[in-house]
Structure 1
Amino acid sequence: MGTWDIGHFDNDTAADFSGSLDDAAEADRPGILRETLLRVAGTEEYLDSDEAVEAVAAAALVAAQCPGGEPVTTAYGPDEPIPALPSDLRALAVTALDRTLREPSELLELWEESGSGPAWREGVVRLREVLASAGDVPGAGGESALV
């Protein structure tokens, strides 16, 4: 994985994911985000780093539309607009982020080995907090037990 920083889009996989969103019809983008989040949220076995990276990027795009969410302004994020997303994606994004932060997760292992794991994890937990505090997230008290 070509990674240059700890941001949600600061790697080749997330940048490619952004490109695939740009290539899709605007009406298809919410479905692509949903499929990406579902793939990770439903994984009980070893979670591949590329799938986890895409889920974190998707969650960042969902969180950007929540109150308190940060807009995705990096050059590596999508250039094309993301239409208004259904609110049920918030809970799905929380589940996908929780799965990314739980073993067995290749992305979690890679960040822990890099020495930047705590800073990366903090960024993912901040995303989770924005999503959980926006509502429509059953059982999400806004703070992950995975911190």
Structure 2
Amino acid sequence: MGTWDVGPFDNDTAADFSGTLDDAAADARAGIVRDTLTRVIDTIGCLEAPESEEAVAAAALVAAQCPGGEPADPVYGPAEPLPDLTGLRDLALQALDRVLTEPSELMNLWDESDGGPWRAHVRSLRNVLAPQPPGEQLRLA
């Protein structure tokens, strides 16, 4: 596993995913993100680590466009502009939930080491993607 930290783009697979997005036509990028999330959601049986790493990166790209979201990694994230991905919030949440549900190779790999920081990072992505309760939206407006 070519991983150097716990962030969504801190592994070779996610960096390659960013390259795929950069190489794609501008009007195809949202579809690539959507397909990546959907493929993970629809996985029955063991979810392989590379698919999970791509899904976490895709979810991070969606979260980056949401209030409170962190910008994508300036080195390993996509360099080319992305269209509005906020309509994919629900898919991103479902994909992250699937990554954190057995059987999941990536989750197991992180559990073999100190996976706490990685899980905390995924939970923070979930928190950005999750819809705010109606009372919170009123207070923020």
* TM > 0.5 fold call: yes
User: Given that residues 55 and 96 in structure 2 are in contact (C-alpha distance below 8 angstroms), is that contact kept between their aligned partners in structure 1?
Assistant: yes
Task: Report deviation, 1:68.
Answer: 0.9
AA aligned opposite 1:103: E
What is residue 101 of structure 1 aligned with on the other side?
Answer: 100
AA aligned opposite 1:28: A
User: Given that residues 9 and 73 in structure 2 are in contact (C-alpha distance below 8 angstroms), is that contact kept between their aligned partners in structure 1?
Assistant: no
| 2:120 pairs with one of 118, 122, 128 | 122
After TM superposition, the structure 1 = structure 2 runs for residues 1-147 of structure 1, keeping only pairs within 5 Å, are 1-87=1-87, 89-115=88-114, 117-133=115-131
Where does the alignment leave 5 or more consecutive residues of structure 1 unmatched? 136-147
Task: Report deviation, 1:122.
Answer: 0.6
Where does the alignment leave 5 or more consecutive residues of structure 2 unmatched? 134-141
SS at match of 1:104: coil
- State the alpha-carbon separation in 2 of the partners of residues 102 and 48 from structure 1: 12
Larger Rg: 2
- State the alpha-carbon separation in 1 of the partners of residues 27 and 132 from structure 2: 23
SS at match of 2:9: coil
User: Given that residues 30 and 83 in structure 1 are in contact (C-alpha distance below 8 angstroms), is that contact kept between their aligned partners in structure 2?
Assistant: yes
User: Given that residues 67 and 134 in structure 1 are in contact (C-alpha distance below 8 angstroms), is that contact kept between their aligned partners in structure 2?
Assistant: no
- State the alpha-carbon separation in 2 of the partners of residues 134 and 36 from structure 1: 25
Normalised by the size of structure 1, how large is the TM-score?
0.87
Normalised by the size of structure 2, how large is the TM-score?
0.90
- State the alpha-carbon separation in 2 of the partners of residues 126 and 20 from structure 1: 25
- State the alpha-carbon separation in 2 of the partners of residues 71 and 134 from structure 1: 20
1:28-59 CA distance string (max 9 Å, x none): 00000000000001112100000000000000
Q: Percent identity?
A: 64
- State the alpha-carbon separation in 1 of the partners of residues 44 and 132 from structure 2: 26
What is residue 136 of structure 2 aligned with on the other side?
Answer: none
Task: Report deviation, 1:114.
Answer: 1.6
Count, aligned residues: 133
AA aligned opposite 2:110: W
SS at match of 2:126: helix
